[in-house]
């Protein structure tokens, strides 16, 4: 962290994924603010949908969001500059790998 400069490229994938969603979101927000303040370039890949990018941009104006698009639970392999849709499609991914929970609650 101490060696990052405006010329740095920072790549982060699923930071803080082993902590609670609440704590992970708080830590991620602070980390993004730190990077924006320094002015480095980077990619922050996350499933945290509620990061306040607009609020961060009120002071930094350097953060943007990109979303991997899907339709009807299927990946389109396209990236768009837009706000997250708030879905991680976990149930669709589970089904793909043979975990179908659709009848789970009917058997209890």
Task: Let me know how long the chain is.
Answer: 108
Q: d(Cα 63, Cα 30) in Å, to the nearest integer? A: 13
Q: What is the pTM of this model?
A: 0.69
In 44-108, alpha helices (H)? 53-57, 90-96
User: Alpha-carbon distance 25 to 46, whole Å?
Assistant: 10
pLDDT at 66: 84
Q: In b/e form, how buried is each residue of 11-23, taking b as 16+ CB within 10 angstroms?
A: eeeebbeeeeeee
pLDDT in tens, the chain (108 residues): 889 999 999 999 988 888 888 898 899 889 988 888 888 888 888 888 778 877 777 766 678 888 888 887 677 889 888 887 777 667 777 787 888 777 666 555
CA dist., res. 33 & res. 65, Å (int): 14
């Amino acid at each position: 962290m101490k060696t990052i400069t405006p010329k740095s490229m920072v790549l982060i994938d699923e930071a803080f994924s082993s902590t609670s969603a609440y704590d992970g979101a708080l830590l991620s927000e602070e980390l993004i603010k730190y990077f924006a303040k320094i002015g480095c370039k980077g990619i922050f890949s996350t499933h945290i949908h509620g990061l306040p990018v607009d609020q961060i941009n009120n002071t930094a104006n350097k953060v943007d969001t990109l979303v991997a698009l899907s339709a009807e639970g299927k990946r389109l392999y396209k990236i768009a500059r837009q706000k997250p849709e708030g879905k991680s499609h976990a149930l669709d991914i589970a089904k793909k790998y043979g975990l179908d929970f659709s009848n789970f609650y009917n058997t209890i």
